[in-house]
Amino acid sequence: MKHANLPDDPIMFPKYDRDGEPMTIPMLQDVFGMTEEAMKENCLAAVKKEGFAILLVMPESLKTAKICLSAVQDNGLALEFVPEEFKTMEICTAAVHNRAEAMEFVPKTLKTAFLKK
């Protein structure tokens, strides 16, 4: 596990605690001593450097629409790891524009809208 104090260095957050439970933001704050906002800023910086890989290992509680958009702009296949609530037309369009194969991960309701374009 790598932890850096520099905001532009990728930071790897553990996804699960010792009992296999998903890490929550308060748990991560205890581990890293960062505010929620600082953790999300670190995640965004990391995604801009290593988009797909970071989104793959990032705890769900830290994913935001902005982070997910940045990841799919880097690699459209990252759409597979975007939470359903963030799979908007904007994010899905960016993913498919980057990699046509990302269409596999677009929700059915949005696929219909893609076909109408």
Q: What is the pLDDT of residues 69-82, one digit of tens each?
A: 999 998 999 999 99
- The answer to whether residue 52 is domain-embedded is yes
What three-state secondary structure class fits 16?
strand
| Whether pLDDT at 19 is above 80 | no
For residue 89, what pLDDT is reported?
A: 95
* pTM of the model as a whole: 0.67
Residue 66 structural domain = 25-116
- The answer to whether residue 7 is domain-embedded is no
CB 54 within 8 A of CB 10: yes
b/e sequence 56-88, b meaning 16+ C-beta within 10 Å? eebbebbbeeebbbbbbbbbbbbbebbeeebbe
Domain count for the chain, please give it. 1
Highest mean pLDDT among 4-13, 89-98, 104-113: 89-98
- The answer to whether residue 78 is domain-embedded is yes
